[in-house]
Amino acid sequence: MANSISKDIPIIAEAKTEVVTSEYSYTERDIILYNLGIGATETQLQWTYEGDEQFSALPTFGVIPQFSASSSLSLDWLPNFNPAKLLHGEQYLSIKAPIPTSGDLINSARFLEILDKDNAAAVTTVVETRDKHSGKLIFENQSTVFIRGSGGFGGKRTGDDRGPASASNVPPARAPDAIFEEKTHPSQAALYRLNGDINPLHILPEFAAIGGFEKPILHGLCSMGIAGKHVLQTFGPFQDIKVRFTGVVYPGETLVTEMWKVKSKVIFSEFRPSHRCR
């Protein structure tokens, strides 16, 4: 995958040379915590009881091990950087191998693409997650965040084609093939943040207010996990998943996932009944 450093202004080219590595060790307990965090219940023993013969991680667990690495890449070089103005815009997860229910992993993170949107910066990181002992690639994540107020630095405005990671995935103009509805819990963000995303935006009302929200919002990766769970329950296992966040969800709200099967791909749209947020 081309990094296109030569096309970037010096400050961006320099930022792309930074590589952050981190280790992530986990047990069956962490798998259960993640599964519960995206709505698995006590009756779904394959996701909540380590002694079940079918015990496994829900596929979107792949966004968890990489988080410490991707969040450690410094953004302080951006103009007017304010973490309270950071919003998660897109996430792409590719599952490269069966997910172990415990293990030792190592992550390698770097900036992939940094775009100047005038009134914001769009920053995409890529993280490869491998088994620490065998070196086997388990996950690849590409994450795009938007930092409001940090644009205008003279960088590129248009990104490169990154294949499935940048595909638009427009739903077809017909009724969905399946619809799944789930009510989130008022404490869902408080539970989900125990997976490692401890951004105060999801727990502190005063921090959420700085970002312009009426109260703490649900993690975008939590709503992604819920949608991924719906796809899995409806159409079975998948090898990759890409989402674009265009709205916010407050803990306790209901989420509806509409799904369309298009050849070998499932296109989905997840929204609050009162406000769609693909």
- Residue 55 has, within 13 A of its CA and on its CB side, a CA count of 16
Residue that is written with structure tokens 């940048």 in the block: 166
* Residues whose CB is less than 8 angstroms from the CB of residue 170 and which lie 6 or more positions away in sequence, other chains included: 267
113: alpha, beta or left? (left if phi > 0; alpha if psi -120 to 50): beta
Catalytic residues: 197, 202, 217, 220
Two tokens, residue 273: 């009944």
Which residues have C-beta within 8 Å of that of residue 73, sequence separation ≥ 6? 18, 20, 109, 110, 111, 125
Strand order of the β-sheet with 178-183 is 178-183, 254-262, 265-272, 275-276
Cα 108-227-181 angle, rounded to 5 deg: 165
Please check whether residue 141 is in contact with residue 92, taking contact to mean a CB–CB distance below 8 angstroms. yes
